[in-house]
Amino acid sequence: MTAAELERLLADVAQGALTPEAAVQRLRRFPVDDLAYAQVDHLRPLTQGFPEVVLAIGKTPDQVLGVCHSLAESYGSFLVTRADGDTREALQDRFPKVELNDLGRTAYLPPDPPRAATGRGTVLVVTAGTSDLPVAEEAAVAACALGNRVGRLTDVGVAGIHRVLRQADELFRASVVIVVAGMDGALASVVGGMVRVPVVAVPTSVGYGASFGGLAALLAMLNSCASGVVVVNIDNGFGAAAAASRINHLP
Amino acid sequence: MTAAELERLLADVAQGALTPEAAVQRLRRFPVDDLAYAQVDHLRPLTQGFPEVVLAIGKTPDQVLGVCHSLAESYGSFLVTRADGDTREALQDRFPKVELNDLGRTAYLPPDPPRAATGRGTVLVVTAGTSDLPVAEEAAVAACALGNRVGRLTDVGVAGIHRVLRQADELFRASVVIVVAGMDGALASVVGGMVRVPVVAVPTSVGYGASFGGLAALLAMLNSCASGVVVVNIDNGFGAAAAASRINHLP
Amino acid sequence: MTAAELERLLADVAQGALTPEAAVQRLRRFPVDDLAYAQVDHLRPLTQGFPEVVLAIGKTPDQVLGVCHSLAESYGSFLVTRADGDTREALQDRFPKVELNDLGRTAYLPPDPPRAATGRGTVLVVTAGTSDLPVAEEAAVAACALGNRVGRLTDVGVAGIHRVLRQADELFRASVVIVVAGMDGALASVVGGMVRVPVVAVPTSVGYGASFGGLAALLAMLNSCASGVVVVNIDNGFGAAAAASRINHLP
Amino acid sequence: MTAAELERLLADVAQGALTPEAAVQRLRRFPVDDLAYAQVDHLRPLTQGFPEVVLAIGKTPDQVLGVCHSLAESYGSFLVTRADGDTREALQDRFPKVELNDLGRTAYLPPDPPRAATGRGTVLVVTAGTSDLPVAEEAAVAACALGNRVGRLTDVGVAGIHRVLRQADELFRASVVIVVAGMDGALASVVGGMVRVPVVAVPTSVGYGASFGGLAALLAMLNSCASGVVVVNIDNGFGAAAAASRINHLP
Amino acid sequence: MTAAELERLLADVAQGALTPEAAVQRLRRFPVDDLAYAQVDHLRPLTQGFPEVVLAIGKTPDQVLGVCHSLAESYGSFLVTRADGDTREALQDRFPKVELNDLGRTAYLPPDPPRAATGRGTVLVVTAGTSDLPVAEEAAVAACALGNRVGRLTDVGVAGIHRVLRQADELFRASVVIVVAGMDGALASVVGGMVRVPVVAVPTSVGYGASFGGLAALLAMLNSCASGVVVVNIDNGFGAAAAASRINHLP
Amino acid sequence: MTAAELERLLADVAQGALTPEAAVQRLRRFPVDDLAYAQVDHLRPLTQGFPEVVLAIGKTPDQVLGVCHSLAESYGSFLVTRADGDTREALQDRFPKVELNDLGRTAYLPPDPPRAATGRGTVLVVTAGTSDLPVAEEAAVAACALGNRVGRLTDVGVAGIHRVLRQADELFRASVVIVVAGMDGALASVVGGMVRVPVVAVPTSVGYGASFGGLAALLAMLNSCASGVVVVNIDNGFGAAAAASRINHLP
Amino acid sequence: MTAAELERLLADVAQGALTPEAAVQRLRRFPVDDLAYAQVDHLRPLTQGFPEVVLAIGKTPDQVLGVCHSLAESYGSFLVTRADGDTREALQDRFPKVELNDLGRTAYLPPDPPRAATGRGTVLVVTAGTSDLPVAEEAAVAACALGNRVGRLTDVGVAGIHRVLRQADELFRASVVIVVAGMDGALASVVGGMVRVPVVAVPTSVGYGASFGGLAALLAMLNSCASGVVVVNIDNGFGAAAAASRINHLP
Amino acid sequence: MTAAELERLLADVAQGALTPEAAVQRLRRFPVDDLAYAQVDHLRPLTQGFPEVVLAIGKTPDQVLGVCHSLAESYGSFLVTRADGDTREALQDRFPKVELNDLGRTAYLPPDPPRAATGRGTVLVVTAGTSDLPVAEEAAVAACALGNRVGRLTDVGVAGIHRVLRQADELFRASVVIVVAGMDGALASVVGGMVRVPVVAVPTSVGYGASFGGLAALLAMLNSCASGVVVVNIDNGFGAAAAASRINHLP
């Protein structure tokens, strides 16, 4: 229930268009829906601007289904990230209209009818290499679901610096740039030095040996010589999308 | 030389208001001013929207003075961060109008006449404890220098959660929130869950023992359970300000 | 054999109610029962107030069965933690009355007849998210087995701070609070700041990337800005329960 | 202002013994006293059972003095930890009755008249070696200030195991044991295996080389083979005292 | 070929008991036997007192077989450590007299006829818990193979300190003590403080969470408060045996 | 397309030997071939002297096939590293002439006709132990593919120092030496002290316990007491070959 | 009081040569001498074969003096390690016959008359470089004080491998070898591969950058490819000496 | 004594131009000059191509002087790195012709007459920022001393990518490129992707917070996405120069 919906509901009650009983029924899950194994937070749209997004890691498919059911009933939509094959299948069985992204491991039930993008500009997702695509897809799907127009620029890492330089125009057109890179994470600094808009860097666990599961890229990005590059957790495509959406929805 | 200034200069040449010789003289430092020990990057205003900011760590006072001289000549203004006592003194001797912030270790030469804030809203700098103030001051001074209105909320860490809850209105009024916290870094997650706008988290090295110089707060912030909190380097007040300014100047 | 039982046995011998031979037979396993691969410590009830609890990690099912047999003979009860599927199955085959908790990976043979809780108040197990439940269940089952009344509060992480704030009364009623949280571990600090009673924080390995297997939550909890929060090992639900039970049984 | 004091104040107002104006004056600092650089949290006695304790690290002597002034006015008492020489001197100048502990780096202004210990039993502070004394003293002073009877057992590390074994009676008489140890931190496990009462382990940075500033002892204590040993931050004597006091004041 | 054997061979040649051709044939593998994927070092008995021991990690079963063949031909004996199931099976097929220890993952082909122990006293292998047995077995088998008498003391960790104290006599009879312990590694310090003879500490990866694969025990042992405890790599039972054997064979 | 080929193509156009249309067709993939999931960098031969090499980690077999197709069309050759079984099989199905190295996990399609080595001398790949062979093979295959003559020296670790000393002549004949070693990485320092030519050290993840996945060897090599030893990432055989080839092709 | 001395004392009492009162006086400090800040362990000679050695780190000069006084009264001798300038001076003032080693930071009061070495052979202290000398001197002084003959081999690191190879005879004559090395720690492996006797490796903090205070050498030594090399803490010269002395005094 | 000099000396002896006695006198320091605290390695010119270079860290000024004396007598030249103020002064007093570089902390006694550069091309030292200059100067001075022509490119970090792009020609002219960079270390990858020649990356400790003393740059460089970039220790300017010189002197 978004803030606008809540206002409308209360106005309806005030105008007699909705009986208090019916309103209570609709507010039943407010502010939390207690599922024993989860407290689905229905205050989230008010505090954050969008409903809870479900991180499937460490949850059983049944638990994910339960939370999604609560969200679908209230909002007609949900987004699940890090959903493994079993969970994605269970969601598709239960919600036939869910959109699965196997590379990005997401499951998204779009609202019906679809909503237009509400963000002010484009969120551009830039990846250093082909192996970074799963994280980039998670970011792109999530940014869409959160109401943003999304662009993509793939495999433009600095080993062949001309690949990103020749795409400068596309970079200049974006409102927010998400840079997804593993290994040395150097692309974040190069992009950060090329554009004026906010740059959200996502280190990935792509690499081996002394990448230590993405630590190398994480540290490099935190120490970026380009001013004002911000960083999210390793492989956290969703987090980058949420940050970009906060920025892109700035009033 | 900002993009606007460059356009004006070229227009003046086109209209005969400026001789090519005079234009060359003014462009002499473009795109870089080669000082032997530094290549002052005068393309920066075009790419980043503001001139180079001088990080004094690892530079001698003379080197800092030299770079500041180049910047002052071109822009009538500069900002130095992490300036120790000697460097601040040397700057004050040479540039009497420089504004020193001893707590934040900054030296800022404001343009004359001063410029109005150009950002769309307020950047709010929130600190968890008194010991985080040096980093918070660096952020606040830098955000001002980069053209933003700045607010402050001090010592509202989660050990007494009511301190931040009762300031919710101030949080809701901000366009961007910078959260500065050491130790457990928990304030970033609490604030991130309260507001919709972008939250830039700055871990500080405040603490001891297993804080490992701010690592504890850094990791906690990177793993924030609040979606879309972004992080900069430990103690990097300037970086947070630069990110907030990028966001606050979104077209 | 608890201290009380030992006293009674010796009194029985003194009063002729028990022959020395019978007493020796019952003391046969005292102070240790030598199983070749294990020295079951039957002095533990005297020193610690409860018999050895079996950590199944690194032990074969047969070794676990052997230790449980020794404990069941002496105390009519045992508790196994971190029992994988094979071990739980083997225990159920051999001890049909054993109570399995698949989520918490515990196997508990309750005494017959059951014993009333001996602790002075309630141990409240609070979890930040659904994914923390396996660790929380281990803590809850163990706290029960150690003679404590147990309450649960699930999925009240700080991303939606209202979820824990609205449960303040339940927190205030507890004698000891166990906070189970992964990712940023921030819930421990918030709860620690809300209550006066002891707070035992359990970092979990829930998370990914820079959570580094629970290190982020561990460090955050060790650096809690709330005074007097204490910490146990990552995912150590049993350890938290043992600590809470020590506290709750304070004479 | 403690909960009892607050109740008494409100009762006085109800009975006309105190004018509302006078009550407001006394409540002026409630819930926080805003000192610009600090929000002294006067709700703390209600939530935690004791006023804020001042951690001097990262604060200027003037800031410490300011906070202490606010606390002394409200409670006639304060405790400062990690106060360096300058800060201790400044406090003694301003508050001649303050009690300094140079080894433990504390400054304590006791209430006048002194208060009797309110905890139920004795908090025993056990140290492995002479070099651990600064941390142990911080713990002992803080435990006293928080209303506990305090005992001490010094230099009983496990290299000469007989030293702690022969003190078993003293260990058995304690309500809570604080074990302060650097290097291998093994004393916590040995004591944890000897007593039934809560054991709070404090790793210290005593050692060199691969102690990595106390990391070795911290990890050893977190992995204690004795069930239910809990741990606080490296060198965090105050935190151990606060935890012990929470335990010792269990209703 | 041991030094003694080499001397005898040369003496035989000198005395005409062996033709130079036959000697060359027997020396063919001296100093190395080049197997393309391995240079079996037949100088090792001279430099180290015993032939190469085969670490199976990272080698294919065929590579292990090849090296063992070279060793068996020269010495009639070999020892393989860290042999997985496939490798142990392959060895048993090829060398029916090989002795497998499944817990310790060793394969040992004893010389025929067997050799008496050559070390001066007993190597005592002490384990803290049942889960440490695989490492302890590797140590015990290797110490035997290297010519030492071996004793065992199992599951005497410090959580029940009486278990090790009551075995003091056994400890006092040993020439070298190998202490195998995971988790907090505290047993090494306690044993180190009880005996005068050399103590070789083997940290194991037994534990979870902040044991970080044995790092906790390793650091604790390196920082042992007992003087003169020495340490080998995590889980390195063979290394401990080799060290103990060097000590026990001191001329 | 190498620089020489590009020059020839342009000369052909200039001389009318090639129509502009045909030239465009051949330049179609220049500078990048956009495959949606990859931007194959056809400028690489100009900047680096050899075409892109495909790192298969994190790529699906289809993605690897696609990139290889683009490379094979342009250069009649490609090299894939870290190709797992499925990927190697898929490549062999599609490119029957590809040469697979199962130990080194490489797939190499040699040009037809084969090219002579272009480097000035021999790249010698030296391994400390049998378990280091997979990394050494990756290095050897890659060095060959990049146009170098390659020699091998296997299992000459410093535990039997005579094994490497007796091969000194082979070391002295090399132009570049690649030292592949896990565990203590000591062989790099010994070789570095024996030869004058460049030594590229490759730490491997061979080992266990405190090798921490090759960290021990990496740090040892970075701290080599032999001057001028350079280091690449853990297990990075290809990187070492690329470096050696840069050196061996010095004009 | 050594075991032999204790036996003699008791025999004297039995034979009337010593009154019980006099015996009590001499046993007054047995088993510990309680100095408030220290429990000097006078059981140590019985358990360890030598009196407590005083580690001065973290102790005030007065505390060190107090412990030394207690030791000097009982044994006529003491050894202090890691004594800074002030402590060494204070010791020399109070005990004019104390022998100071400024490089090794030791203070040793030799017994009068001096005692002959009691160990069976020579302890050889080998250093990789000049910068390792302080640690090596600590080891050498301590080994002497503990009753061993000591030899030295200085600056024979593997960068010039011939330096250690040409000293092979000296290595072969030793009973125990202590290898002191920083940076890559490679010398321990080379020496370990050359000799049969026990090798105790001491990593030092000599180095910079990625030596991380000796971590690189520590890890290298723990992963030594030479079997049976044992390791002590970084810079722990005394620990190595204590271990070597345990070995050299093997009955 | 270089190899050429040794050959000449032996030829002189063979031809009677030098008496054996005189030859012995000149060979007196061969292969090592034993200074008690150091074994100056005079075989180094034969094995490495240049005499020992003195690392002053951890050596007293007297020790440095002693080694330099030995080197000056044999070669008429020496190079000291990491010489602090006292050591540089002591060297200047003793060797008036020594050339000091205060920024790079080097002291170099050039041969008289000077020697021409012997390397085949130019070693180009590229720095990311002004703060990296001390390390870059150490590299430049050392490369010169080792017989190479040296170029410099200063302050061309990727935050303003145009600064390095516009210097491409200078990069293309170099034989070896040394890239000196702290913070994110990204410059190494960008340069590595631009040139074909060997690139030696030197991470510096420039930065703060999560740079962890240069670890961030080190890891980034080890994970460089540009093939064949090699890495030396943090701040190891000399090591980079030695590597570059090995490369530049390839026969």
In tens, the pLDDT along A192-208 reads: 999 999 999 999 999 99
C-alpha R_g of chain C: 20
E–A contact (≥3 CB pairs within 8 Å)? Answer: no
Is residue G231 located within the same domain as residue G172? yes
Higher pLDDT, H119 or A44: H119
Q: Are residues D162 and D240 in the same domain?
A: yes
Neighbours of chain F (3+ CB pairs under 8 A): A, E, G, H
Chains H and F touch (3+ CB pairs under 8 A): yes
- In G, which residues are within 8 Å of H215 by CB distance? 210
Q: What is the DSSP letter of G112?
A: S
H152 falls within a domain: yes
Q: How far apart are CA E15 and CA E109, in angstroms?
A: 33
Strands E122-127 and E106-109: unpaired
Distance CA G239, CA E226 (A): 9
Asked whether E and H share 3 or more beta-carbon pairs under 8 angstroms, the answer is no
The answer to whether C165 contacts chain A (CB < 8 Å) is no
Average pLDDT over residues B113-133: 95
Say which of H222, H242, H250 has its CB closest to residue F247: H250
Chain D residues with CB under 8 Å of C223 CB are 233
Residues of chain D neighbouring E158 (CB-CB closer than 8 A): 186, 189-190, 193, 225-226
pLDDT band at residue A28, thresholds of 50, 70 and 90? Answer: low
Is residue C244, in this structure, part of any structural domain at all? yes
Predicted local confidence at residue D28, as pLDDT:
61
Among the candidates C76, C109, C142, a domain finishes at: C109
F220–G224 CB contact, under 8 Å: no
- Alpha-carbon distance of A152 to B245, in angstroms, equals 25
The pLDDT of residue H46 = 73
For chain G of 251 residues, list the mean pLDDT of each consecutive stretch of 10.
Answer: 66 77 67 83 81 93 95 93 96 97 96 92 97 97 97 93 89 97 97 96 96 97 96 98 97 83
Residue H25 lies in a domain: no
Which residue is listed with tokens 């075995």?
Answer: E167
Contact: A206, F32; criterion CB under 8 Å? no
Confidence of residue B188 (pLDDT cuts 50, 70, 90): very high
* Cα C206 from Cα C133, distance rounded (Å): 10
Q: Could you tell me the pLDDT band of residue C191, with boundaries at 50, 70 and 90? A: very high
Tell me the CATH number at G219.
Answer: 3.40.50.1970
Same domain, F46 and F147: no
Contacts of F193 in chain H (CB under 8 A): 47-48
Is the predicted ipTM greater than 0.85, yes or no? yes
- With a cut of 70, say whether residue A1 has pLDDT above it: no
Q: What is the C-alpha separation between F95 and F76, in angstroms, rounded?
A: 11
Check residue B100 and report its DSSP letter.
E
Instruction: Extract the tokens encoding A144.
Output: 């869409």
Determine, yes or no, domain membership for F23: no
Please name the residue that has the structure tokens 């400090």.
Answer: G29
How far, in Å, CA of B94 to CA of E6, rounded? 83
- Let me know if residue G142 belongs to a domain: yes
How many residue contacts between B and H have a Cβ separation below 8 Å? 60
C-alpha distance from G27 to closest chain D C-alpha (Å): 16
Q: How far is CA A82 from CA A56, A108, A235, C238, E39, in A?
A: 5, 12, 10, 29, 48
Number of Cβ atoms within 10 Å of the Cβ of H11: 11
pLDDT-derived band at H72, boundaries 50, 70, 90: very high
Q: Is there a contact between H236 and G209 if contact means CB atoms under 8 Å apart?
A: yes
Chain F residues in contact with E63 by the CB 8 A cut-off are 130
Which chains have at least 3 CB atom pairs separated by less than 8 Å from chain B? A, C, D, H
Range of the domain at B63: 30-109
Residues F196 and F133 both lie in one domain: yes
Average pLDDT across chain C, whole number: 91
Burial of residue H27, with CB atoms counted within 10 A of its CB: 0-12 exposed, 13-18 middle, 19 or more buried: middle
Work out how many CB contacts closer than 8 A connect D with G.
59
* Phi, psi of C51, rounded to the nearest 5 degrees: -65, 165
Same domain (yes/no): C90, C200: no
Q: Do A150 and A103 share a domain, yes or no? A: no
E strands within B82-175?
99-101, 106-109, 122-127, 149-153
CA of G129: which chain H residue's CA is closest?
H38
Query: How would you label B155-174 residue by residue, b for 16+ Cβ within 10 Å and e otherwise?
Result: bbbbbbbbbbbebeebbeeb
Closest CA to D95 of D81, D77, D82, D113: D77
Sort strands A199-203 and A176-181 into parallel, antiparallel or unpaired.
parallel
Give the strand pairing for E39-41 and E32-34. antiparallel
Distance CA F137, CA G89 (A): 61
Contact pairs from chain G to chain H, CB under 8 Å: 58
Whether residue G186 and residue F159 make contact (CB cut-off 8 A), yes or no, is no
Cβ neighbours around E4 below 10 Å, total: 9
Same domain, C97 and C128: no
Tell me what pLDDT residue F2 has: 58
pLDDT band at B26 (very low <50, low <70, confident <90, very high): low
Task: Give first-to-last CA distance, chain D, whole Å.
Answer: 20
**Residues 30-89, chain G: which have Cβ within 8 Å of E?**
47-49, 53
**Chain D contacts in chain B segment 103-162 (CB below 8 A):** 129-133, 154-156, 159-160, 162
Q: Is residue B236 part of a domain?
A: yes
Chains D and B touch (3+ CB pairs under 8 A): yes
The predicted structure's pLDDT at residue A42: 81
Chain D neighbours (≥3 Cβ pairs under 8 A) are: B, C, E, G
Q: Examine residue D4 and state whether it is found in any structural domain, yes or no.
A: no
Asked which of F74, F109, F144 is the last residue of a domain, the reply is F109
Query: In a structure prediction context, what are the per-residue pLDDT tens digits for chain E, which is 251 residues long?
Result: 556 666 777 777 777 787 777 776 666 666 778 888 888 888 788 778 888 899 999 999 999 999 999 999 988 999 999 999 999 999 999 999 999 999 999 999 999 999 999 999 999 999 999 999 999 999 999 999 999 999 999 999 998 888 898 888 999 999 999 999 999 999 999 999 999 999 999 999 999 999 999 999 999 999 999 999 999 999 999 999 999 999 999 98
For helices C133-145 and C237-248, angle between their N-to-C axes, nearest 10 degrees: 40
Shared domain check, E105 and E70: yes
Distance separating alpha carbons of residues D130 and D156, to the nearest angstrom: 9
Same domain, E35 and E68: yes
Q: Calculate what percentage of chain H has a pLDDT beyond 70.
A: 94
pLDDT of F1 strictly over 60: no
C56 and C125 housed in the same domain: no
Averaged over B224-237, what is the pLDDT? Answer: 97
**pTM given for the model:** 0.93
Name residues whose C-beta falls within 8 Å of residue G101's C-beta, 6 or more positions apart in sequence.
Answer: G107, G108, G137, G138, G141
Domain-embedded: residue A123: yes
Q: Which residues of H touch F48 (CB under 8 A)?
A: 193, 196, 227
Q: Of E72, E87, E109, which residue constitutes the final position of a domain?
A: E109
Q: Is the pLDDT of residue C6 over 80?
A: no
- E139 in the same domain as E95: no
Higher pLDDT, B143 or D51: B143
Cβ pair A47:B194 closer than 8 A = yes
Band (C5; pLDDT cuts 50, 70, 90): low
Nearest-CB residue to D250 (from C232, C241, C250): C250
Distance from CA of C234 to the nearest CA of E (A): 5
Task: Dump pLDDT digits (tens) for C64-93.
Answer: 999 999 999 988 999 999 999 999 999 999
Number of structural domains in chain F: 2
Q: Same structural domain for residues F68 and F86? A: yes
Structure tokens that stand for E195 in this block: 């005996």
Q: Among residues of chain C, what percentage have pLDDT more than 70?
A: 94
Which pairing describes strands B176-181 and B122-127: parallel, antiparallel, or unpaired?
parallel
Cβ–Cβ gap E184/D225 under 8 Å: yes
